[in-house]
Chains A and B, each alone.
Chain A
Amino acid sequence: MTEPDKQDLTSRRRNGWLGRWQALRGNGVLGINARNRRYVMRWNVRSKYPLVDDKLTTKRLALEAGLAVPDLYGAVRFQGELIHLDELLAGPDSFVIKPAHGSGGDGVLVVTDRRRGLFIKGDGRALTLRDIEFFVSNILSGVHSLGGIPDVAMIEYRVRPSRLFDAISYRGVPDIRLLIFRGIPVMAMVRLPTRASDGKANLHQGAVGVGIALDTGVTGHGVVRDHVIDEHPDFGTPLAGHAIPDWEALLGIGARCADLTGLGYCGVDLVLDEDRGPMMLEVNARPGLAIQIANQCGLEERLKAVEALIQVPTDVSERIALARALDAEARPSEVGAAPLSGGSGAAAAATSPPQKARRVLLPKVPAKP
């Protein structure tokens, strides 16, 4: 069958549900059911889940392995400890409180400053100590944890986002999600907080996910609430074409995190701190699938390629080389020629040139609204 014929056929089939189904299949898009059955259940040993479900444990493991993580200022385990909360918070002016068993960025409180005994939240609102006590007590009761089991509240270092992201991030801390399969990074995206997400880097709450080419560390399209976008919804700045600094190091940290948790299929969340550089935030045993939309690429092909490997190299740099090769191989047409093949023409024009130029992300003046 010649190429035009094939295209004609697919375009005709594209209508209707069956057509969509076949198109998704054809593009190797991974669905939730397939992810759970073929990857999460097969490659993630249940006994390793507590290592990542409890962020305190993950943090300890990372520290033992010599990986950078945000400092832990303290942990509240029992309601009774709440009377000592003021002592725990006596340290630095800014901190983050989050549940050790939280999921999807729920229940995270960011305090950026304190003024006259009040704590100033990320969005500028002031909280009293009693507000924070109530918040912590909710965490302890298990409001944010799966199944409502009692939880532990962690108080830790607030990451200062790297200035590099100022132009494309609203307030909070952008984080980088690496999808790691058998210790090899297979896909990456950066999650940028928006006004809608209340400064949180959480896709469910309306943050933007921006695909990153594994090979180059250069950003591509964005996704917000499952729709593809090419400009930041708050600033209108182009999302594509930013090179993430220290890309090689980030990939390395991701691969090592996956090693130390022992999960075959996981998502590693990293942040770039202005002073301390790359840090590991958490590891997710059931990473979401929106990363595919952000990268405009299905996961299945890459996962199969990695699954087909008989022996995965133990050396981290070898694995990263492998990941880059896989990426370059998996989407030569998208990275090389036009990143939006078949997409809108205007967006393609805006994003294709920087792919070669590898523009380095510099602190830019944000477009003022």
Chain B
Amino acid sequence: MSLRFFARLSPLGAIALLLATVGIGMTLLKAMRYEVPLLPELTTSVWTVEARIGFRGDGGASKVEFLLPPRVSMQRVIDENFVSRGYGLAILETDGRPRKATWTLRRTPTSEQALYYQVRVLGGSVVTDSSVPPFPPVPDYKEPLASAIQSVLSQARAQSADVFSFTEQTLLILADTDDENVKVIRNVQDRPSWEHLVAEILAGARIPTRIAYGLPLERPLVETQLIPWLEVHNGDDWQGYDTATGEPGYPPGFFIWRYDDADLLRTREVRNVQLSFSTTQTSVPQMEVAELTGAAFAAQPFGIDLTRLPVSVQNLYHVVLMLPLGALVVAFMRVVVGVPTFGTFMPILIALAFRETQLLWGLALFLTLVFVGLSLRLALAQLRLLLVPRLAAILVVVVCLMLAITVLSFRLGVEQGLSIALFPMVILAMTIERMSIVWEERGFGETAKETLGSLLVAVCGYYVMNEPHLDHLMFYFPELLLVVLAATLLLGAYSGYRLTELFRFGALSRGR
């Protein structure tokens, strides 16, 4: 069935199909694989994580050092922001170490001070540092803790096969608070957190562990602290564990700020230091995220990435890439609908001008220019000038008219009148010349018909070229040009009736 369909395709149909398939395929791949949004208004939810460092100075020089999230967590960050009015800020980066922000001030007021650091984080999967740790030494436990731990570990060892299942079993046993050994273990209170104690127990089995401090991005939190989370390494990967239940995994959207007990905050010459974190969820356009991360375009093995070009060139391409669509509109209107126009591509150039002037103003200005230009051209006819000088004269007249309209509208305070300079002057001059000849030879009716046809096509072209969705698609997926090409090829092979012919040949449409 499908084979027969392909066999029946003409070479042109096959080429068009191929082009369209490649174009759409690349577009979809880009959209799915690299998450470039197909629609400009698609949004994604982004978390803003804010660290607030509050303190009081003592009138002298102060210094606050704050550890920023590790490089691996920064992969999820689309941008960061430091809010520190009046403070000197330096960001130190040492090889392999997380960055450190240092705020300094010569005379710190004694009033309440606050420094903020904000990151915008994408929701979604947790990323953690993948460095391979050494095997920890077996800690030196004190009795009765040592025997309790030994018994828990041997029990877990009997019920497990590898590092991860061993960890799970250990955590399950530790969750059973009725167990005598567990009671002994839970009595120990001098560790910073339960996670630290579990890490110490696992070290007894020489299992590498670390504590990741971070924030769950599930619901907005205010004035909270980083929570510790256990991570276990099995020789290949790190795996987070919920020490309360023994479940592998992380809290939803866990954003890791630091590992183990590195100092998060170090201050000098300040008092009453408080550090707290808040999270809040906002929705931002996907496009912004894709542009901010650059990730959407960075890793493309193929295709055209226009976002890396200088901005002025990008702006140019926003326009240039719409031109093929305009040409497609013209081809469609002429071949399928059969609208008469002045010149082939005059309508799209006019439509491009409309993009800048806005439609109604554009129409008004265009008609004014053409009307006055045409009157002057018909007056020039009396002088019997040669063709090319006559065209040049019309061009001068058109420019004079533009100047007049611009100056007049500026005096009147009508901003839109200024944009008239965007009309393609040479095209206008030639249009006026052709109009006057059509007028002289075929009369007013034909001139009006072709003018209205040109304007109709220009307005259609304007609506197509001014469509933000199409602009977005063409700019971020220039591969779609192949689809446009396929469509024009098919239009070129169209041998059916033009819609206007249905009326033209109306006399022949009676049945026999």
Contacts and interface: CB of A to CB of B under 8 A. Distances in A.
A143 B505 contact: no
Nearest to B507: A228
A275 B132 CA distance: 109
Contact of A204 (B442, B495, B503): B442
Contact of B493 (A24, A31, A37, A333): A37
A143 B387 contact: yes
A106 B512 CA distance: 37
A33 B502 contact: no
Given A33-B495, A142-B387, A228-B507, A27 B442 contact: no
A32 B504 CA distance: 11
Contacts of A205: 441-442
B501 A31 contact: yes
B11 interface: no
Given A142-B387, A143-B437, A32 B501 contact: yes
A107 B511 CA distance: 40
Interface stretch (A10-18, A50-58, A83-91, A114-122): A10-18
Interface string A1-37: 0000001001100100100110110110101111011
Nearest to B441: A106
B251 interface: no
Contacts of B442: 204-205
A137 B386 contact: yes
A264 B496 CA distance: 21
B506 interface: yes
Contact of A24 (B386, B441, B494, B505): B505
B484 interface: no
B338 interface: yes
Contact of B511 (A204, A226, A342): A342
A23 B509 contact: yes
B505 A227 contact: no
A333 B507 contact: no
Contact of B387 (A17, A27, A138): A138
B505 A293 contact: yes
Contacts of A343: 510
Given A24-B505, A34-B496, 19 more contacts: A20-B506, A23-B509, A27-B511, A27-B512, A33-B335, A33-B494, A38-B495, A134-B384, A137-B384, A227-B507, A289-B505, A292-B508, A293-B504, A293-B505, A293-B508, A297-B508, A298-B508, A333-B512, A342-B511
Interface of B: 335, 338, 384, 386-388, 437, 441-442, 493-499, 501-512
29 contacts: A14-B510, A14-B511, A17-B502, A21-B502, A24-B497, A24-B501, A24-B502, A27-B508, A27-B509, A27-B511, A32-B338, A33-B496, A33-B498, A34-B496, A37-B495, A106-B441, A134-B384, A141-B386, A141-B387, A142-B387, A205-B442, A226-B504, A226-B506, A227-B507, A293-B505, A293-B508, A296-B508, A341-B512, A342-B510
